[in-house]
Amino acid sequence: MSKPVRVRFAPSPTGPLHIGGVRTALFNYLFAKKHNGTFILRIEDTDQNRFVEGAENYIEESLKWCGIIVDEGVNTNEKFGPYRQSERKEIYKQYAEQLIASGNAYYAFDTADALDAHRKDHETEGKTFIYNWHNRKKGRLVNSLVLTEVETQAKLDAGHDYVIRFLSPQDETLHLTDIIRGEMTIETNILDDKVLFKSDGLPTYHLANIVDDHLMEITHVIRGEEWLPSLALHYQLYDAFGWDKPEFAHLPLILKPTGKGKLSKRDGDKLGFPVFPLAYKDDKTGEMSRGYREDGYFPETVINFLAFLGWNPGTEQEIFSMDELIAAFDLDRVNKSGARFDPDKTKWFNHHYMQEQYNDDLAKSFKDMQPELADIDVNYVELVVALIKERANFVSDFWELSHFFFQTPTDLDEKAVKKAWKEDSPEIMTKVMTVLESVEDFTVENIQTELKGWITKNEIGFGKVMMPLRLALVGALQGPEVFDIMYLIGKDETKRRIENLVNTLGSK
């Protein structure tokens, strides 16, 4: 790279951060760290009508939870601050006026009602109204291109509402370059004269974005595909200011699990998975949206599955640490086509990271989550977790997999009873209790040695012993090793459960 790499993630604080936004932040972060560059968080809050209190904090907390560390941002190494656009208003006005002075922009005084009437007139004729070279000087529109300087200034002095529009050139061909999508061309005649600045003193996204990227010395703009239609205008703005352009890379959409259409919150609600990193409550409606953190996903899971939405390493490797992702990441390996979201794959990733967690941490989380464990020693819970976590995707799965370690089963699985309990089962289980009573040091190894030795000596089928024994301990034919269960619940509880089963089922 000829310049030090500087990239930015620039969300709007209009609500919760979609995982598509987190992926954009992640790809920017990976690219910056790969090239020893700087990752910047800029808050683009110029749209005050859609501003949501608390959304900025939500964005910051989401990135922090995911392990995406900000190098520059609000209250963080503010080298080019401020980093909230609402605090940079005077800067934008200066550059908007510069574009007017250079002839690249103009004042437009058309009211909203007048523009709406123009649109309706065009619709009745089967046409689409576009504010550009085709109609801006025909006299029906009110702007500084048809007004004299004196008339224009009079309107400004009188406090008339106005916008500043970019003067898009006529009959030109723009040549655009995107790292992911390659070379593109577009004819300027199909472009409209976008609004850059409004009389309320705030810029639109387009002007603020370009000015900030230039002043903050952004070298690469890595953003979502939805901004691709704006690339032509942004190219023209850089040229109008006489500034060097950053390199652009537009990331593919994240698609619904069906592969058709952009992933939305509705898809998550319908199919039962989050689309936000953290849970979010809408203060206006009271609606609570699920979050990956609260649903029991590990941040490593979210980072890993997001990395694979639109990018592949070119190898068979699927599990990456953040450092490994940084080393492997390359924009050249980002796809153009949309990436289908796979809820089952996210669970697969979470299952993997579950196995990598420390058992004591998982035990604490499990204990905090489950009221029935309030009085249970966390060290005992940790021993149980070690036996069951391989079967779990989430900590919330633990209780179903382990409740029999903490409570004597009260219900018996009917199918298990039919399969495990035979005519001679009461006699066999009664003898098993005698064998277990003889085990003085009740360890897994000793239990296993004594019981298996007795089974072999008496030439009894293992299934005739182990299935009803598991049924007594668990209430079903599932769970960890029988010998591990007996060791953890202890000799007395083991015998009590066998006796309960014999008394309950008898010679049934």
The 3-class SS string of 30-60 reads HHHHHCCCEEEECECCCCCCCCCCCHHHHHH
Q: SS3 of 331, please? A: helix
**Rounded (5°) CA angle 174-178-179:** 155
Burial of 245 (0-12, 13-18, 19+ CB in 10 A): middle
Tell me the two tokens of residue 172: 């030109």
Which residue type, as a one-letter code, is found at position 95?
Y
Which residue type, as a one-letter code, is found at position 93?
K
Phi, psi of 108 (to 5 degrees): -130, 130
Phi, psi of 164 (to 5 degrees): -105, 120
Burial of 183 (0-12, 13-18, 19+ CB in 10 A): exposed
For the chain, the straight-line distance linking the first and the last C-alpha, in angstroms and rounded, comes to: 79
- CA 372 vs. chain centroid, Å, equals 32
Tell me the two tokens of residue 455: 């089974």
**Rounded (5°) CA angle 75-77-82:** 60
Which residue type, as a one-letter code, is found at position 468?
P
> Among 265, 345, 431, 464, which one carries the catalytic annotation?
265
Which residue type, as a one-letter code, is found at position 63?
L
Nearest CA to 68 out of 291, 299, 346 is that of 299
Which residues 6+ apart lie within 8 Å of 119 measured at CB? 129
For residue 151, what is the enclosing H or E element?
A: helix 149-157
Kindly give the residue spans of alpha helices, DSSP state H, lying in 190-230.
Answer: 205-215
Residue 444: other Cβ atoms inside 10 A:
15
Tell me the two tokens of residue 463: 């299934």
**According to the annotation, is 265 in a ligand binding site?**
yes
Residue recorded with tokens 């089928």: 461
Is residue 265 annotated as a catalytic residue, yes or no?
A: yes
Integer Cα distance of 415 and 201 in angstroms: 73
Give me the active site residues, please: 265
Annotated binding-site positions for ATP: 265
Annotated binding-site positions: 265
